[in-house]
Structure 1
Amino acid sequence: QIIRHLEAGGQLLRSEIYSHEYPFHDRCGNPLIYFATPSWFIRTSEMREQLVAANKDITWAPPEVGSGRFGNWLAGAIDWSLSRNRFWGTPLNIWICDVCGGQAVPTCRADLSEWTGRDLSELDLHRPHVDVITFGCRCEGCNGTMARTPEVIDCWFDSGSMPFAQYHYPFENKELFESQFPADFISEGIDQTRGWFYTMLVISTFLTGRSSYKSCLVNELVLDKKGKKMSKSVGNTVDPMQIMREVGADPLRWYMVTCSPVWTPTRFDLEGVTEAQRKLLATLENTYNFYTLYANLDGFVPGMDGESAPDQLDRWILGRLQSVTGQVRRDLEDLHLTRAAKAIGEFVSDDVSNWYVRLSRRRFWKGEMTPDKRSAFTTLHTVLETSLRLLAPFIPFTAEELYRGLMGCTGMTDSVHLQDFPAVDPGLIDADLEKDMATAQAVVGVGRSLRQESSLKTRQPLGLLLVHSDDDRVRRMMADERLTGYVCEELNVKRVGTVDDPREVALLTAKANFRALGPRFGKQAPLAAKAITGMDPGKIMDLRRDGRVELEVGGKAEAFTFEEIQVVEEGVPPYVAGAAAGLTVALDTTLNEDLVQEGLCREIVNKVQNLRKKSGLEVSDRIRLAITGPQAVMAAVERHAGRITGDTLAESVAADGELAYKETFEIEGMEIGIALERV
């Protein structure tokens, strides 16, 4: 028609037939063709300013979706093509006269009943039933017949109407609707910037002048582990039901929320799900099992009468729990789920399991219920109970099972999901103690790495650990015998001391961080790196003390920080040294006969405990114990008999004996026989 029109007007310069590409349907494979068709529109272009203004009141996570992708879409909003030429869907409620072209828009069955003169209160308002409804033209003086236009409404209009349609508003439930409008939170995929997010905002802005939701969390796609889009035809899809059957729903949930922020594409790796099971859920369950085992042995019930004596560790972990609770609440309010989940996970793993429980074990092992032991039980119960409430939104099934088991002895049978989410008690927070304990944990972390690098087992005692720091608080902390006692216990060293100059125990060198230098210095990055690697020990000490240092690059003074410079510390024999968080940590690796004997004793205790477990003994069972081996072994056993009997619940240690369970072990190249039986 266009060609004929141009030709008739003498305006056609050229006409030809040419080929071009059309797509195929991505699922069924049928060929598709684009062509223009008449449509009904909503004039959204006239509301751009109102839509942009309403969007500014929404909290987006991440913010750049609201200000960028979605905001740009609103700023260029075009009229909404509302109608679809399909059978299924909500029929477009517009009736058109066959004579004058007039239009009528019924709002309910009552309108249709009135206009047709028939009772249509039971009419199914879908095709084909509604298509046969006709009535006389509503226009004055016209005798035509009105029939429904054949189109249905865009299904996204249905979705966008959800806030109103769910309560049949404004026809019913006005107070209920207004009490819940706008919604606090919605969440969907990034593709919904042109779908649900958009249609809800448009309809709500048309009707109320504001958004129907206050905040929106946007999630990206889940890709395969190579970063490719999952597709059944490619064969790289993952069956979530199979994963849940094999590993469980909670490990999958925990992996998905912690591996990366939900608004970034997730490269799915099944090994990560298994790691999530091991790192958090197994640790949480082991801590729960530790508590319930000893609580049941001692008959401990939370709230039981009796004096408690909270020690420094109790005060620290309870304060740390409050700090983590505050962080989690802030992160959840900011819609940063990954940060919140990681904070809880690190607390359970690093602070509770690998620090508090490890350092408190002997308190639970005591025979009688002392105030100190009661405080340990009370503290760990509080930590577990609160942690499970924090974790409930992330791992609902595990949290429910453990919570019911934990609270069963108190008579509470309600679900964890019916409890209040934890609130912060600022009075329990001791910021200075948290910093000091974090320093102790950092020292232990470096010390463990040094042991591993030097092939020194943790069960082998060492004589001395030295720490250097330019921070006055750290130096004061290192003078606290209780805090350094934790370091001694965790690293198995006899004494912790300080050193005024790290160069007494380590050689200091500097390495360049090219990732930071490149964007800053460009082609001069090699010159900057050369200046860094050429730093003398004095300059390195300046950097450690001040956090910055000036170096000459290309004839110009430039300031550098730890972001661009990595300080490497190599121990001066007999020390091995390392650094972290502004600390220099050095271990004296010298071993004398006393240390070797004690290390041998600790290895023997470990083997006895393994044999106890293998023999099916309860942790509370007392035993008879016999140990045989070379003279070096027997000398160590004789010297440390008290420790061996105390740690293994043995009545005594004999040099031989025919006991029920016997096994031979090899320790440091020596063959050792261990036999035991229940008393």
Structure 2
Amino acid sequence: MIKFSEIEEKILEFWETEKIFKKTLKKDCPKGPFTFYEGPPTANGKPGIHHVLARAFKDLIPRYKTMQGYLVERKAGWDTHGLPVELQVEKTLEISGKGEIEKYGIEEFNRQCRQSVWQYQADWEKLTSRIGFWLDMDHPYVTYHKNYVESLWWIFKEVADQGLLYQGYKVVPHCPRCGTALSSHEVAQGYKSVTEPSVYIKFKVTQDKGLIKSGDYILSWTTTPWTLPGNVALAVGENFGYVRVKHNNDYYVLAKDRLEVLEGDYSIEAQLIGSDLLGLEYEPLFLGAIPEETENYHNGFKIYAAGFVTTDDGTGIVHTAVMYGEDDYLLGSEIGLPKYHTVDESGYFNETVKKWAGKFVKDDEVTKEIIKDLDSRGLLLRQADYTHDYPFCWRCDTPLLYYAKDSWFFKMSELRGRLMEENQKINWVPEHLKEGRFGEWLSQVKDWAISRERYWGTPLPIWRCEKCQEIKVIGSYDQLREQSLERLTKFVVMRHGQAENNLAKTFSRAEDKWPLTDLGRQQTAEQVKRLKDQKIDLIIASPVLRTRQTAEIAAKELGLEVIYDQALAEYDFGQWLEISKEERLNRPDYQDYRSKTLEEKFDYRLGKNGETAREIMDRAEKFLLKTNKEYFGKNILLITHAGIAAAVNRVLNQANLEDYVNFEGVGYAAVVNEYLTEDGKSFDPHRPYIDRHKLKCQCGGQMTRVPEVADCWFDSGSMPFAQHHYPFENQEKVDAQDYYPADFISEAIDQTRGWFYTLLAVGTLLGKGTPYQNVICLGHINDAKGQKMSKSKGNIVDPWEVMNQWGADALRFHLYTMNQPGETKNFDIKNVESVVKKNFNLLFNVLSFYQTYAEDRPASTDLPQVKHVLDEWILARLNQTAEKITTYLNQYNLFSAARLITDFIDDLSTWYLRRSRDRFKSQDEKDKAQAIETLGYVLLTLSKLMAPFTPFIAEELYRRLKGPLQSVHLETWPETQTVNDQVLREMAKARKVVELALAQRDETGFKVRQPLSKLTVMGEKLAGDLSEIIKDEVNVKEVEFVKAEELSVGLDIVLTEELKLEGLLRELVRSINQLRKEAGLTINDSVVIGYQTDSEMVKKVVSDFKAEILSGTISAEIKPEKITENLIAKDLDLNGEKLWLALKK
């Protein structure tokens, strides 16, 4: 059996060695860019089977579009900020909560966070590669990188400048464990169904008012007993009907429509409306919990009207704790209720709630104690279990509290109409999400709580004056540098323009040769013009001719002198300097260098007597420290070489060797900004360093940065811009829509409350419109029984085990074809095995058959000119399949497209090839050649159609067929020809006739190998060549058509002696060929057949059909004798006729 996983490993090696992915990005792309966004994972956890699902779907469309002639750059990304990272580090450090973090130290804690995000990077990259997901992992965007953060600051300022950023004291979802507010989209990801006690509470009236008497009770209901100490008011519907009832000797007030909450007998004493109750005072449930000195205390503990009251549940009277409910808070602000927290931000009761001070409010025991206390004081009517959805922290699983506090917000509610409008432009798969899950979310969109009271995240670029409270939002590092009281040195690192040695591919550090080309001068002039507004203070340049000429152009434009410094000169390449590329490639030491790993290259002496990379780093570091000390606080333009720019980047940013090598490819006249602190360290925009930067306020006061960091979903939602360091770089391409919007994205369906939303939110905030045009949402993946996978259940599927056993393509193809993308997927490895057996094995059997007869010739790339009806049909089926797959993929209907491949492989194997087998052995050389050419062309085209779905299988198929290009993934997508509908219709009718006839054979007990005399077909007559196919397939001597409205068939099942002999002949030939197979013989092995039998029929068959037996079994002779030294021998029973059979070479 073929081990597809082993084939895939070899293909992976081939792709890597030959850099096939990179070649797909360099080939002609006449259709221009097709933009794909990779949603960034966090690499502090191992990837699982659900990540394979997402990556399989992400990979397919970019492969397809690449083959169609688009340039599909696929930049990897890493989500590196936020609670997911912080919680992991807390766990590692065995600390918990903000207090312990601050005791540990923010600087060291954030350093640990920065390191932890790469804990499983290798696992992610290995899995990504193994499943065939082509992604540019060499140049990923990383959300904690300085350039990325700077773009986020710019977005913040843009939002602020539009008046869409504000700070508000309001009730927000708050995680008491993490100590921070969460956004509505984060909350939406953490709901769980819980059953908790709900309570009906008796609030004692303290005054007579109309029909209500002092001592009566107002009934209210709550599912959050912990909020009762914070109660400051009761709310009623002003025009609702209410009643005063007598029940168990007490008098209660509740909504008339909610009398059902009373258990037992009651009598209605009076009927009222809500307005009759307004102003009625009652006794606080927990005296002293709200101190009397609290502002507006005199307005508390009364009944007020509110629009949020309903009679759908509860009592129609709402308990109001203004600090713990959004509606409650708004009501409290409107009418001036006392605002006092009875719970601290960690979720513990404070000292005014004396009985439970210091206890966690959501503790089950505390809830029981509160209820017990109320009961003991006669203030509990009854309690009942209540099942509802309650929000939990999406990261730490702590129940959230709705909690009044200061937070920063984006005014998404003002953009609700625009968000809904942009949503209409998106092609959602599945379609119902547009108006359903996503559309409904947008219609209720709330302001985005953007701030987090945490540590490892993008610091909010907001400074507040300690004196006048003025707010300033900073939108770039240059703005910070200009306004901060903490000085920074800015290095503008610029590579020289294109020079003649670059064209000659010659290493040089000469000061008198290899000048700039005309293009290089133009590149330099254009870049320098962009630098004019950057207030450059001085220029320091390499003395090499090409950098000197670049510096002269800059100096003239900027009106500055140039300082030349050998520390910025090109690498010393030793003996590799000033020789041609050909000479260099012929040197053993250069070839030795090229064979080394990055780590080995770092200490390799270039050109025998040149520098090592480590020495170059040392040179760059010493230069930076010296220059920073000498010119601290200045804006310095450094004009140097790509390698030295890469060295500067590595020194300042602790870049790894891969990044260092990648940076060496920086473009001609490219500019990179770096900022240094006074101690010579690279500027870090994270806490606590950024908090040291104070600004001068216009009032003369000092501005301090607010302590919060941004929601990490803001990081990922801004990736269309921040991944390109927009607008500081790549502005033209983003604005020209080369990089925005994405043509395609795909993630799990829960991202409708996450990344899908934040992408749209940021794009809308910036006025850029929808950030993606097509999105495939994926359903969740469960185990085979439909259970959610979890460690505790032991039902987690290891994707590596699946791929090692059956291969990545089998896993991919199963995920495409099991059901529609948005549906929940119950994963069973048996179905992956089925893909191999029903698709791949079948396909490779066809391939093996083809290779047997193709005699190592390359498969035909040109559409064959055919005459045989089977060839016409399979080419029509191929065109039909290609056309439909193209249509479906253009509609992002991957499920239907993938299933067409299964159907085509089945038709190719079980109909075309089975009906054509004899043609490949035919004496008619012309027909034989046509069959071989047709099958080769079909398989080669099929490899292209399969390439986006099963990239490994397609590659192996293409290579075995000797496709004309290096890889199937460098091919163009098959152009569909005109489909021959007539031959498809006619063949479909013929196959239906065969189906009916074989069913009748089965009913009457006649095997297909037994010839019958005649098949009568009632229906439309088919062409003669199709009649021949029917005759062969049904194994009848004659097919007769009788005109009829409805198709039916009839078999003549009378067996003549001749038919019996012919049936026995077929059984004998089949048995001999089965023995050949069991003996491991090939078509090149001729054998001698020996047999012994007492059956006269067998003897007659051998006598009458000897030639047919020999040709049908690739045999030289058949003898009625017992052969010794045979390859294989067996006793057989053929239709009741017994014989002994043996083969030998």
Structure-2 residue corresponding to 1:472:
none
SS state at 1:39 partner: strand
Counterparts of 2:421 and 2:395 in 1: how far apart (Å)? Answer: 39
* 1:103 aligns with one of 471, 483, 488: 471
Is 2:623 the partner of 1:623?
Answer: no
Where does residue 124 of structure 1 map in the other structure? 684
Structure 2 distance, partners of 1:173, 1:398, is 38
Look up the match of 1:168: 725
Counterpart of 2:1021 in structure 1 is 476
Give the one of 773, 778, 799 matched to 1:240.
799
Give 1:448 deviation, angstroms. Answer: 3.4
The answer for the alignment partner of 1:393 in structure 2 is 948
Deviation at 1:602, TM superposition (A): 1.1
For 1:476, the aligned partner's letter is K
Q: For 1:93 and 1:272, locate their aligned partners in 2 and report how far apart those are by CA, in whole Å.
A: 52
Cα distance between partner residues in 1 of 2:920 and 2:818 = 35
Describe the SS at the equivalent of 2:1038.
Answer: strand
Contact 2:693 2:704 in 1 (8 A): yes
The CA deviation at 1:636 is: 2.4
81, 90, 94: which one aligns with 2:449: 81
Given the alignment of the two structures, is residue 134 of structure 1 paired with residue 601 of structure 2, yes or no? no
Match of 1:324 among 877, 881, 890: 881
Q: Is the 8 A contact 1:628 1:634 kept in 2?
A: no
Aligned 1:256-271 pairs, distance under 5 A? 256-271=815-830
RMSD between superposed Cα atoms in Å: 2.7
Candidates 426, 431, 436, aligned match of 1:58: 426
Change (3 A) 1:455 1:223: farther
* Alignment match, 2:993: 443
Aligned mates of 2:1048, 2:762 — CA distance in 1:
62
Contact between 2:861 and 2:940, CA under 8 Å: does it hold in 1?
Answer: no
Q: CA deviation at 1:63?
A: 1.2
**Does residue 1:467 correspond to 2:1017, yes or no?**
yes
CA contact (8 A) 1:251 1:277 kept: yes
Secondary structure in 2 matching 1:621 = coil
- Judged with a 3 Å threshold, the aligned counterparts in structure 2 of structure 1 residues 108 and 7 are, in CA distance, closer, same or farther, namely closer
Instruction: Give the TM-score of the pair, scaled to structure 2.
Output: 0.48
| Alignment-mate amino acid for residue 132 of structure 1 | R
Cα distance, 1:2 vs. partner? 6.4
User: Could you tell me how far 1:26 is from its partner in structure 2?
Assistant: 8.3
CA distances 1:181-238 after superposition (whole Å, capped 9, x unpaired)? 2211111111111111111111112223411111111111112222232222223322
1:510 equivalent in structure 2: none
Letter in 2 for 1:622: S
1:182 is matched with: 741
Q: How far apart are 1:647 and its partner, in Å?
A: 0.7
In the alignment, is the contact (CA less than 8 A) between 2:860 and 2:937 conserved in 1?
no
Q: Cα 1:187–1:163, aligned 2, differ >3 Å: closer, same or farther?
A: same
Query: 284, 296, 299: which is aligned to 1:9?
Result: 299
Count how many residue pairs are aligned between Structure 1 and Structure 2: 579
Deviation sequence 1:634-664 (CA, Å, 0-9, x none): 2222232232112112234322252533332
Equivalent residues of 2:463, 2:705 under 8 A apart? yes
Contact 1:300–1:377 at 8 Å: present in 2 too? no
Deviations, residues 233-260 of structure 1 (Å, cap 9, x unaligned): 2233222211111111111111111111
Change (3 A) 1:196 1:309: closer
> Displacement of 1:81 after TM fit?
1.0
- Bigger drift between 86-95 and 326-335 goes to 86-95
The alignment partner of 1:95 has SS state of strand
| Pair 1:637-2:1102 in alignment | yes
Question: Which residue does 2:1037 correspond to in 1?
Answer: 494
Q: Measure, in 1, the Cα distance between the counterparts of 2:752 and 2:858.
A: 53
Candidates 921, 938, 959, aligned match of 1:365: 921
CA gap 1:97/1:588 in 2 versus in 1, 3 angstroms: farther
1:224 aligns with 2:783: yes
The Cα of 1:8 is off from its aligned counterpart by 2.8
| CA distance in structure 2 between the partners assigned to 1:343 and 1:87 by the alignment | 51
State the Cα deviation string for residues 35-67 of structure 1 (Å, max 9, x = none).
Answer: 343211110111111111111111111211112
Closer, same or farther: CA 222–668 of 1 in aligned 2, 3 Å? same
* Highest RCO, 1 vs 2 (Cα 8 Å, sep ≥ 6): 2
Residues 52, 75 of structure 1: 8 Å contact kept: yes
Whole-angstrom distance in 1 between the partners of 2:949 and 2:921: 33
SS of 2:1140's equivalent in the other structure is strand
The AA in structure 1 aligned to 2:917 is: R
1:45 aligned to 2:413?
yes
Q: Determine helix, strand or coil for the equivalent of 1:498.
A: strand
2:93 is aligned with 1:93: no
The answer on whether the counterparts of 2:1015 and 2:1036 sit within 8 Å (CA) in structure 1 is yes
In structure 2, what is the Cα distance between the partners aligned to 1:308 and 1:54?
50
Cα distance in 2 between the residues matched to 1:235 and 1:8: 58
Aligned to 1:403, which of 958, 963, 974? 958
> Cα gap change, 1:37/1:640 in structure 2, threshold over 3 Å: closer, same or farther?
farther
Q: For the residues of structure 1 that align with 2:391 and 2:912, how far apart are their CA atoms?
A: 62
SS in 1 for 2:1133: strand
Q: CA deviation at 1:302?
A: 4.3
- Classify the secondary structure of the residue corresponding to 1:146: strand
Match of 1:198 among 734, 757, 782: 757
Q: CA deviation at 1:442?
A: 2.3
**Aligned letter for 1:492?**
N
In structure 1, how many angstroms separate the alpha carbons of the residues matched to 2:832 and 2:1049? 35
Partner secondary structure for residue 37 of structure 1? strand
Return closer, same or farther for 1:124/1:606 CA change in 2, 3 Å cut-off. Answer: same
Partners of 1:71 and 1:671 in 2: CA distance: 74
Are residues 597 and 400 of structure 1, via their aligned partners in 2, closer, same or farther at CA, if it must alter by over 3 Å? Answer: same
Alpha-carbon distance, 1:169 to partner: 1.8
Paired residue for 1:656?
1121
Cα 1:667–1:10 change in 2 (3 A) is closer
TM-score for both structures, normalised by structure 1: 0.80
Q: Secondary structure at the match of 1:371?
A: helix
> Alpha-carbon deviation of 1:487?
1.6
Question: Per-residue deviation at 1:324?
Answer: 0.8
CA distance in 1, matches of 2:816, 2:731: 37
Using the alignment, how far apart are the partners of 2:914 and 2:300 within structure 1? 93
Aligned to 2:25: none
Distance 1:456 1:431 in 2: 34
Q: CA deviation at 1:290?
A: 0.7
- Residues in 2 aligned to 1:44 and 1:29: alpha-carbon distance in whole angstroms: 27
Say if 1:308 and 1:371, in contact at 8 Å, map to a contact too: no
Where does 1:573-612 land on structure 2 (aligned, <5 Å)? 583-612=1047-1076
In the alignment, is the contact (CA less than 8 A) between 1:400 and 1:415 conserved in 2?
yes
Contact 2:814 2:832 in 1 (8 A): yes
| Residue of structure 2 aligned with 1:665, choices 1128, 1132, 1141 | 1132
What letter matches 1:602 in structure 2? Answer: R
Q: Deviations over 1:440-497 (max 9, x none)?
A: 122223333443444432222223333334xxxxx132xx121021122122222222
Distance in 2 between residues matched to 1:337 and 1:68, nearest whole Å: 21
Aligned pair in 2 of structure 1 residues 187, 112: CA closer, same or farther (>3 Å)? same
**Cross-structure match for 2:619:** none
Partners of 1:465 and 1:586 within 8 A in 2:
yes
Highest Rg: 1 or 2? 2
The amino acid of 1:380's aligned partner reads L
**2 CA distance for matches of 1:590 and 1:90?**
87
Pick one of 916, 933, 937 that aligns with 1:378.
933
Contact 1:309–1:372 (CA under 8 A) maintained in structure 2: no
Q: List alignment gaps of at least 5 residues for structure 2.
A: 1-229, 233-289, 304-318, 322-352, 354-369, 373-384, 490-674, 676-681
